[in-house]
Amino acid sequence: MILRNFLKTMPGLAQCPDIELERLAKAMRVETFPAGHTFTYEGRSNHEMFLILEGRVRACHYGEDGNCHDLKFLGSGEFFGLLSLYDHGPASAACIAVEAVKAACLPYLAYQTLIHTSAPIGHYFQLAVAHQLARDLHERSASLRESLKQQIEEIVIPPMAHGAAAGDTPSKPD
């Protein structure tokens, strides 16, 4: 697989000239990780971001109950390990290889150089990162909405049972 060609298929990078993609590809290191490999540990700093080329990665978060809850499964063409690189905080989730994963890794310093450069690749790369973050937020929102919908369906007693129009009852958030 030629990494430059793979990058070209990603949202935000499709319009990027090949010569610029080649610069990005050269800054990345392609590596294969075995199933069960932990890329990031929740609460610890990570020093690189990853782009999945092949395989699946499980992102999970330790809840109050001490169990690791799945946040999402990531697949080919998805970035992870982005938050720490932007705000220098600890990883918000553990990311673990579900199966053998081939990933392109971008070290923190190379990443900083890329995004602070005025070269076109810096701007294209910002767009690719924004696409990933927005997709993550969209999925998080959709999953929370689905859970909320289920909760509401369980809470609201059918109107006929109590003679009250439950569906018409406005919420009182404050």
**Interface with another protein by CB under 8 A: which residues?**
11, 15, 61, 63-64, 71, 82-83, 86-87, 89, 92-93, 115, 118, 120, 122-124, 126-127, 129-131, 133-138, 140-141, 144-145, 147-149, 151-157, 159, 161-162, 164-167, 169-174
Task: Compute the least distance from the CB of residue 14 to another protein, in Å.
Answer: 11
Beta carbon nearer to another protein, 35 or 137: 137
Helices (runs of H) and strands (runs of E) counted in the chain = 6, 8
Task: Compute the least distance from the CB of residue 106 to another protein, in Å.
Answer: 15
Beta carbon nearer to another protein, 100 or 166: 166
Which candidate, 48, 61, 52, 113, places its Cα nearest to that of 79? 52
Beta carbon nearer to another protein, 51 or 129: 129
Say if residues 102 and 53 touch (Cβ distance below 8 Å): yes
β-strands 48-54, 101-107: how paired?
Answer: antiparallel
Which candidate, 36, 41, 7, 38, places its Cα nearest to that of 127? 7
CA separation for the pair 11, 9 (Å, rounded)? 7
Beta carbon nearer to another protein, 8 or 135: 135
Task: Compute the least distance from the CB of residue 29 to another protein, in Å.
Answer: 23
Task: Compute the least distance from the CB of residue 173 to another protein, in Å.
Answer: 4
CA separation for the pair 55, 130 (Å, rounded)? 22
Dmax (CA) for the chain in angstroms is: 69
Task: Compute the least distance from the CB of residue 3 to another protein, in Å.
Answer: 22
Beta carbon nearer to another protein, 32 or 141: 141
